Amino acid sequence: MELATIGRGDFTLGFRLAGVRKTYEVTEDTIEPTVRKVLMDQDVGILVMNNDDASLLPDALQSVLDESVVPTVVLVGGGETTQLREKIKQAVGVDLWK
């Protein structure tokens, strides 16, 4: 399984420099089809996106991202800071921070 990132150029650049091969630079117009494409990619185990970019997606697709197990979607930056904690709690079945 591979790590994939979707986002603006400045967001994906760091991942590209770190050796992540599946980096997708998007605009507001191309983000939705790119997310759908990556969700269907069987080689992607973890999808990393900026929280602000994910908020541009339709509500139905945001729900798919929230509930996705494979790939596991990790949103970084922006407003939602407990998202990773909730993903770990969902995967492990225990809140490790309590």
Give the model's pLDDT for residue 94. 65
The model's pTM is 0.78
Instruction: Select from 44, 42, 46, 48 the least CA-distant residue to 8.
Output: 48
Report domain extents, the chain. 2-92
pLDDT in the model for residue 8: 92
Would you give the DSSP letter of residue 77?
A: S
Q: How confident is the model at residue 88 (pLDDT cuts 50, 70, 90)?
A: low
**Residue 69, pLDDT score:** 87
Could you read off the pLDDT of 45-73 as tens digits, one per residue? 999 999 889 989 999 999 999 888 899 99
Residue 53: exposure state from Cβ atoms within 10 A (0-12, 13-18, ≥19): buried
CATH superfamily of 2-92: ATPase, V1 complex, subunit F (3.40.50.10580)
